[in-house]
């Protein structure tokens, strides 16, 4: 079965073709980073308009690269939420229109489910069950995954997510958008430990997260920051270390509490090299194996949506054919297990 995936939840337009027999055939991604850079964050209206411009040209390019035609498709999967309402409507509208015209299923996919399953695109890939650390944009969650659509929430952020802490702190440091890569680049020449930033909730008796206090601590440190590039680099290194320490500590605690020895990391922050190094080392000491998606699939992308759609299609999970569609800017991932 050949599935077209469309991802337009925020500031990347992703298109991909996934075949259940041959795997990922082709994919393309357009990032809007340059479009939003002057604003220090995503402008929803600009994002929506750019998705309109990009979806169909990227779809034609992916079909061409795969040597496929629209008539060859068995289903169209699109991101239905969570995300920016206007951006989601672009992908949902085009995806359902294509599916209706071709007489094939249109599959609404949860954005975080796409991220959660994306490490299965890598070789080797994890077996079920596993623990998933989802660190994507405004989401930081720990999930226990027993199978496709069988997800249990173990812990989540109570305020700012890890990605938001990176973005907001980067702005305080005078860095560009997106904040995660900018902080990591500056931290490469810094020395963690020169500042004393908190590790919020690291020693709590649950698996929840909180990063708003860390952002406030960075604000205080910036106000008293000594002159010079080295001080900024040291603060960036300490910020990165604080976020990584919390993510690693909570992930290892989830493994210990559940007894599940496979851990999956997915989402944009999953591309952070310090996180990968620290988490892999900590998991090895515990006898646990960590799986990461390829770097190109850490950020939002069409491949994860096409793949999730293909898995849903193989399960016989096809929504009833209706003339309309809807999007869900807010959508609890755990609700999929109750559907």
pLDDT at 318: 62
Number of structural domains found in the chain: 2
pLDDT at 319: 57
pLDDT at 275: 97
* 253 and 331 belong to one structural domain: no
339 pLDDT more than 60:
no
* 23 and 132 belong to one structural domain: no
Cβ atoms of 117 and 148 within 8 Å: the answer is: yes
Bridge pairing between strands 289-291 and 262-266: parallel
pLDDT at 335: 85
* 68 and 132 belong to one structural domain: no
Distance of alpha carbon 238 from alpha carbon 186, whole angstroms: 11
* 189 and 284 belong to one structural domain: yes
Cβ atoms of 104 and 123 within 8 Å: the answer is: no
* 305 and 259 belong to one structural domain: no
Mean pLDDT of the chain: 94
pLDDT at 177: 86
* 192 and 279 belong to one structural domain: yes
- The arithmetic mean of pLDDT across residues 65-79, rounded, is 98
Distance of alpha carbon 92 from alpha carbon 80, whole angstroms: 6
321 pLDDT more than 90:
no
Contacts of 327 (CB under 8 A, 6+ apart): 80, 81, 83, 85, 88, 89, 92
Residue 121 included in any domain: no
How many CB atoms lie under 10 A from the CB of residue 206? Answer: 12
Geometric angle at alpha carbon 135, from 132 and 140, rounded to 5°: 90
200 pLDDT more than 60:
yes
pLDDT at 35: 96
Kindly indicate the confidence band of residue 288, based on its pLDDT and cuts at 50, 70 and 90: very high
Please list the residues that pair with 18 across neighbouring strands: 3, 24
pLDDT at 322: 56
* 9 and 137 belong to one structural domain: no
* 188 and 270 belong to one structural domain: yes
* 135 and 272 belong to one structural domain: yes
Taking alpha carbons only, the member of 105, 153, 148 closest to residue 133 is 153
Distance of alpha carbon 142 from alpha carbon 177, whole angstroms: 26
320 pLDDT more than 90:
no
- The arithmetic mean of pLDDT across residues 161-168, rounded, is 95
Structure tokens at 72: 């060859």
Question: Distances from the Cα of 36 to the Cαs of 42, 47, 171, 299, in angstroms?
Answer: 5, 8, 14, 16
Residue 204 included in any domain: yes
The strand ranges marked E within 11-63 are: 12-19, 23-31
Residue 279 included in any domain: yes
* 230 and 149 belong to one structural domain: yes
- The arithmetic mean of pLDDT across residues 121-149, rounded, is 94
Distance of alpha carbon 112 from alpha carbon 178, whole angstroms: 19
137 pLDDT more than 90:
no
Q: Using one digit for the tens of pLDDT, what is the confidence trace for 220-256?
A: 999 999 988 999 999 999 999 999 999 999 999 999 9
317 pLDDT more than 70:
no
Distance of alpha carbon 42 from alpha carbon 167, whole angstroms: 11
Residue 78 included in any domain: yes
Q: Using one digit for the tens of pLDDT, what is the confidence trace for 1-46?
A: 999 999 999 999 999 999 999 999 999 999 999 999 888 889 999 9
Distance of alpha carbon 282 from alpha carbon 276, whole angstroms: 10
Cβ atoms of 68 and 25 within 8 Å: the answer is: yes
Percentage of the chain modeled with pLDDT above 70? 97
- The arithmetic mean of pLDDT across residues 76-89, rounded, is 97
Kindly indicate the confidence band of residue 265, based on its pLDDT and cuts at 50, 70 and 90: very high
pLDDT at 68: 98
Cβ atoms of 310 and 18 within 8 Å: the answer is: yes
- Domain holding 145, by residue range, is 127-292
């Amino acid at each position: 079965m050949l599935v077209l995936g469309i991802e337009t939840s925020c500031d990347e337009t992703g298109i991909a073709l996934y075949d259940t027999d041959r795997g990922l055939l082709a994919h393309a991604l357009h990032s809007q980073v340059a479009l939003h850079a002057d604003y220090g964050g995503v402008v929803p209206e600009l994002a929506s308009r750019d998705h309109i411009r990009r979806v169909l040209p990227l779809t034609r390019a992916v079909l061409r690269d795969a040597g496929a035609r629209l008539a060859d498709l068995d289903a169209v999967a699109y991101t239905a939420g969570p995300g920016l309402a206007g951006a989601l409507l672009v992908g949902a509208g085009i995806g359902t229109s294509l599916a209706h015209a071709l007489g094939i299923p249109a599959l609404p996919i949860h954005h975080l489910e796409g991220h959660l399953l994306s490490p299965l695109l890598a070789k080797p890939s994890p077996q079920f069950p596993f623990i998933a650390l989802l660190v994507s944009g405004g989401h930081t969650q720990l999930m226990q995954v027993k199978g496709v659509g069988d997800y249990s929430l173990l812990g989540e952020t109570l305020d700012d997510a890890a990605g938001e802490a990176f973005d907001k702190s980067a702005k305080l440091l005078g860095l560009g958008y997106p904040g995660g890569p900018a902080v990591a680049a500056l931290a490469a020449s810094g020395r963690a430990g020169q500042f004393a930033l908190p590790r919020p909730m690291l020693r709590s008796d649950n698996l929840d997260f909180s990063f708003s206090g860390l952002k406030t601590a960075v604000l205080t440190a910036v106000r008293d920051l000594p002159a010079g590039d080295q001080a900024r680099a040291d603060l960036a290194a300490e910020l990165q270390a604080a976020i990584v320490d919390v993510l690693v500590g909570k992930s290892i605690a989830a493994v210990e509490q559940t007894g599940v020895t496979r851990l999956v990391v997915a989402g944009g922050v999953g591309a952070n090299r310090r996180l990968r190094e620290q988490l892999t080392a900590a998991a090895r000491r515990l006898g646990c194996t960590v799986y990461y998606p390829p770097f190109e699939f850490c950020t939002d992308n069409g491949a994860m949506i096409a793949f999730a759609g293909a898995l849903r299609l193989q399960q016989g999970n096809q929504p009833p054919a209706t003339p309309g569609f809807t999007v869900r800017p807010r959508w609890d991932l755990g609700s999929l297990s109750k559907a």
